Amino acid sequence: MSLTDQLQPLFERLPEDKRAARRAFWDRLVAEGFPGTKHERWRFTDLAGAVAEPPTSPGPAQIELPSFEGLRRVGFINGHTQSVDDRERLEAPATSVSDPSDLVNAALAASGLQWQPEGDDTALHLCTRSTEGSVHLRHRIHVPTGAHAVLYWDDLAETDADFGTQTLEIQLDDNARLDVARSHLNNAGGPQLLRSEARLAAGATLNMTGFDAGSGLSRHNLQIMLDAPGARVLLNGVYAPFAKGHIDTFASVDHASRETVSRMHFRGLGMEKGTGLLTGRVHVHRDAQRADSDQQLAGLLLSPKARINAKPELEIYADDVVCAHGNAIGQIDENALHYLQTRGIDRATARAMLISGFAAETLAFPANEGAHADLLKALDNALQHADWSETP
């Protein structure tokens, strides 16, 4: 049974008006199918056998959601809203889909958050929880000209969750700024597909810091379009699969205009039998003269059975640019361990210090202390799966 055959009942269960509004996306999905391992961008992540049984519709659940000072909380539990008023509930379908992998969400997502920061409402905590069934949400953030907003997206998929998708659409107008922190813990039985896409106008700034961990299968597509002069993006991230977890991140930045800036810094931690994959792609268009881009990718293997594969990609069609990249994957530096041990620190503690320091610096998020502390807490929880004593 194909993935679309398995998902067909979910589409048919949508209310008639929502099903009609999404029919074109569903028909495209049926006709085109879902990207498989023959597609270069999906060669290491095979969904064909990842959905063992047809996904089910989730039921309501009662969960106590966390709160953070300085952030107004809105929540979605199994796709059902918590503290979301009507004007913030996004029920309209996607306007367009440029990536075939987003067709599932465009066809099945019937709810989500719609937020435009204004006045005193400029800092938000988006809390999403999946405890069972197949959850599909689509969120849309629009930061108007000159505004500055903060978003913390805190996402958890628990063991009984089926195949789920979420898409975050971001539009930044001229000279707008958005600071985003994102935490995704996936221990679900079914794959979880995330997509973050952003379009930046002249002088706009997007700072995005993300942490992905878990024992399930996760795929995160980031697509950033720097559409006008002076647009800039900073992407920081840590991915930490454990048990038999599989985390695949495809981060793409398009420099479509002159004098645009991008920074991409990712760190991977391979634990137990986990697999971490990271592709960082930068595309500098012909008209993007004086573009400035830098990619720095690094990974630590903390288990002999873990795997990390990180690959930077550059496509440059302009001749007046500054583009650089670096990529390094290895193990704990024995010289650094020895140095700390000579200062009276035992080996296990020294190892823990080096691992935590390697990842924690990439999770800096000065826009909100509570969100930053929660990212570090999630990192500490994930690192309980690391072997602190021996080098693989």
246-256 pLDDT, tens digit each: 999 999 999 99
Mean predicted confidence (pLDDT) in 158-174: 95
Q: Cα dihedral sign for 208, 288, 227, 250?
A: negative
Instruction: Report whether pLDDT(391) > 50.
Output: no
Residue 200 · residue 324 · CB < 8 Å: no
pLDDT at residue 387, as a whole number: 59
pLDDT bracket for residue 327 (50, 70, 90): very high
51 or 382: which leads in pLDDT: 382
Angle (nearest 5°) at CA 138 between 132 and 143: 140
pLDDT of 389 strictly over 60: no
Looking at mean pLDDT, say which of 90-94, 157-161, 313-317, 356-360 comes out highest.
Answer: 313-317
Backbone dihedral angles phi then psi of residue 26, each to the nearest 5 degrees: -65, -45
pLDDT computed for residue 314 by the predictor: 96
What is the chain's percent helix, strand, coil content, to nearest 5? 20, 40, 35
pLDDT at 141: 97
Burial 37-61 (b: 16+ CB within 10 A, else e): eeeebbeebebeebbeebbeebeee
Residue 392, pLDDT > 70, answer no
Please give the average per-residue pLDDT across 144-161, as a whole number: 96
Q: In the chain, what is the greatest distance between 2 CA atoms, to the nearest angstrom?
A: 69
Q: Chain-wide mean pLDDT for the chain? A: 92
pLDDT tens figures, 9-22: 999 999 999 999 99
* pLDDT above 70: residue 146: yes
The reported pLDDT for the residue numbered 73 is 94
Q: Is the pLDDT of residue 117 over 50?
A: yes
In the predicted model, what is the mean pLDDT of residues 134-155? 97
- Name the percent of the chain lying above pLDDT 90: 74
End-to-end CA distance of the chain: 40
**pTM: predicted TM-score of the whole model, two decimal places:** 0.93
Within 8 A by CB and 6+ apart from 197, the residues are 167, 168, 169, 170, 221, 222, 223, 224, 225
Which two structure tokens, joined as six digits, stand for 203? Answer: 């002088």
- Rg, the chain, Cα only: 21
The helix/strand/coil state of 376 is: helix
Residue 388 pLDDT > 70, yes or no?
no
Roughly what angle, to the nearest 10 degrees, separates helices 347-360 and 369-382? Answer: 140
- pLDDT over 70 (residue 64): yes
* CA 289/CA 133 separation, integer angstroms: 48
pLDDT tens digits, residue range 295-312?
A: 999 999 988 899 999 999
Query: For the segment 40-51, what is each residue's pLDDT rounded down to a tens digit?
Result: 888 888 877 777
Comparing C-alpha atoms, which of 263, 276, 137, 140 is closest to residue 211?
A: 276
Q: Name beta bridge partners: 75.
A: 82, 127
